[in-house]
Amino acid sequence: MKENHVAIEVSKDEHYKTPYLKALKENWPSLAKDYRHYCHTFNPKTGDIWTWTSPEGQKFFHLVLDEKGGDPHPHNLVNADRLQSFKKALKKLKKVAEEEDIKKLELPLVGFHFSDQELDLANMMLKETFLDTQTEIRFV
């Protein structure tokens, strides 16, 4: 089985309404149900990650970047809090990637809500965080 690891952005009260997340929910209904259960049970903080594995073996790393869903930058501004949450989540993701010997990890652009400026900063954070690892990680 080909390993396929994907990281996506979510909020604590995620409802899987964006087209990308809605498609994930339609393909794997238990993903959204399990995430809601996790949030109610453990009350994650921004910067936390939650991992879900599909029956086919595909792993999804949920990066909690917001407390509430919605448009994170309605005026296309840089949201420093979200970027700090992203940086904290990347450090946790790096630890998991090293522990599980993950060689490749993709972050679909449609799974994130970054402005152009934020995306540039997020790319720098990706490179900086995973520089000393064997994991190939990138936005796709």
The model's pLDDT over 25-65, given as tens digits with 9 standing for 90+, comes to 999 999 999 999 999 999 999 999 999 999 988 899 999 98
What's the rounded Cα separation, in Å, for the pair 135 and 131?
A: 9
> 71-95, pLDDT tens digit by residue?
555 545 568 888 999 999 999 999 9
Q: Which of 27, 17, 94, 22 is nearest to 61 (CA)?
A: 94
Range of the domain at 75: 5-139
Q: How many CB atoms lie within 10 A of CB 15?
A: 13
CATH number, domain of 83, equals 3.40.220.10
Q: pTM for this structure?
A: 0.88
Q: What dihedral do alpha carbons 21, 27, 31, 36 form, nearest 10°?
A: 60
Joined together, the tokens standing for residue 5 give 């690891």
Query: How many domains does one find in the chain?
Result: 1
Contacts of 83 (CB under 8 A, 6+ apart): 118, 121, 122, 125
Residue ranges of E strands in 13-100: 49-53, 59-66
* Closest alpha carbon to 120 in 95, 81, 83: 83
